[in-house]
Structure 1
């Protein structure tokens, strides 16, 4: 088994040159950027619009579970539908993590980051239009903030930890030829759902600088926004480097 794996590495490399979900990094950057914008728009819209139904009381049956499912299912559907187009990063922490690990071209990073942030802002504007003034004034468009008594440093560590988990899972199932390709979107969506469940009581569970950025900008509440950039990016980069340098070159003992 070891010799077969060595032969495969020699031909394809540990994780091959493909991007997430079988995409080709660096090709058709403008089109890929458009897919990132649309995908991030849909992801942030799905989760924060569901949160609005809960927070402004227009959907009494909604709760944290509904919000978590909306984010997780949206990512699953988007990864399956757009993954082959852009890699379906939808998250600056994923993009920067992949680039740091040499799995995504740095020249395409500004396009992806810009598309993700713009998509998130447009989603928050759409949620505001859907739910009216109460969504912005009373519920802050579901902006993520540290819970009462939680310091920015603790919030940063929590966001770094959960994003580390998300990016580690995404790297393992969506870039490694040894993982079954069909399971990748489901695994990514499930990982996002688990991460939000874990962090929501402490930080709101952004797991994504773009998800934090859109509501914060449109609601005009930039409190602790730096936490939701620094934490996820730190966690994402560490996870990508760990997988690329260690786990991608390893397999179970035979």
Structure 2
């Protein structure tokens, strides 16, 4: 009888040990660990380096190829219409693709002027910008340098220069207003969260395409200090007015951030309400409220 009891105890103990081996007391957690603030800055900087590099590498390579093929059709001191159109497409769609790939990590900025504007608009910390701006400039230099080594063309052909009839003052203001438009589009489509945020890269890429089409024949359409700085370093060719490709975009970022803060301060959402509503019932409610207040809304 005693032996049977001991045997049952051993069997029970063996089953318990097997259960514990199958189900450990402290299973590993599937919850990802929290990264430190420094790690976040470094990851964002790495993302901006790769994204800026790919955006400009594709743009520079496409423009070198286009300029090399169509240079014989270009007017003296200018660029051919074909070059302008296709260069605008290359940069615009390169930005679209790379912003879409990287905006979940670092925002997909790829532009020191846009980064500066995000800080002014309250969408980014100044400390984060200290990590991103130098990274974007380094990435631009690497992209231009690699294109210079790999492509049988002249990297100086992608340098940003003023058109033959464009003055320095005109160049500053063109760069300022074009950059302001680009930054404001980025702020409203990406920084302002809405039902359309996921397709913000399309709007940003199309904005760059349109803005380059309008400005490329006058200033070469920089809108980005890194885009001008990289080829200038790779070709060791800085024009006497290179500074306009820094001052103009930064002034544009300041202008766009100021306007963005103004419309936010005055609660722009109440001016034209319901634009981001996703269900029909909410829209119907908004319509009923408008009827009670005296009919259809009037926007002035």
The TM-score range, normalised by the shorter chain, is: 0.7 to 0.9
Instruction: Indicate how the Cα distance of structure 1 residues 231 and 59 shifts in structure 2: closer, same or farther if over 3 A, else same.
Output: closer
Shift of 1:178: 3.2
Partner of 2:213: 197
Bigger RCO (CA 8 Å, 6+ sep): 1
Partner of 2:190: 174
Q: Does the CA contact (< 8 Å) of 2:63 and 2:90 recur in 1?
A: no
List alignment gaps of at least 5 residues for structure 2: 1-36, 73-81, 274-296
Please list the CA deviations of residues 35-68 of structure 1 after superposition, one character each: whole Å capped at 9, or x if unmatched: 11111111111111111111122899x6322211
Partner of 2:91: 71
Aligned partner of 1:250 among 268, 274, 283: 268
Distance 1:209 1:26 in 2: 26
Following superposition, which runs of at least 4 residues in structure 1 exceed 3 angstroms of deviation? Answer: none
Partner of 1:31: 43
Distance 1:240 1:26 in 2: 26
Partner of 2:54: 42
Please list the CA deviations of residues 179-237 of structure 1 after superposition, one character each: whole Å capped at 9, or x if unmatched: 51122010000001111111001000011110011001111121122100000111012
Q: Does the CA contact (< 8 Å) of 2:67 and 2:157 recur in 1?
A: no
What is the root-mean-square deviation in Å for CA atoms of aligned residues? Answer: 2.2
Partner of 1:86: 106
What's the TM-score, normalizing by structure 1? 0.83
Distance 1:241 1:179 in 2: 24
- Correspondence list, 1:229-248, <5 A: 229-247=246-264
Instruction: Indicate how the Cα distance of structure 1 residues 80 and 59 shifts in structure 2: closer, same or farther if over 3 A, else same.
Output: farther
| Larger deviation, residues 220-229 vs 175-184 | 175-184
Partner of 2:168: 152
Distance 1:58 1:157 in 2: 29
Q: Does the CA contact (< 8 Å) of 1:159 and 1:203 recur in 2?
A: yes
List alignment gaps of at least 5 residues for structure 1: 1-24
Shift of 1:247: 4.7
Instruction: Indicate how the Cα distance of structure 1 residues 236 and 26 shifts in structure 2: closer, same or farther if over 3 A, else same.
Output: farther
Shift of 1:164: 0.5
Distance 1:178 1:209 in 2: 29
Shift of 1:238: 1.2
Q: Does 1:56 align with 2:68?
A: yes
Distance 2:111 2:89 in 1: 18
Distance 2:157 2:60 in 1: 7
- Correspondence list, 1:184-223, <5 A: 184-223=200-239
Distance 1:103 1:157 in 2: 25
Q: Does the CA contact (< 8 Å) of 2:121 and 2:257 recur in 1?
A: yes
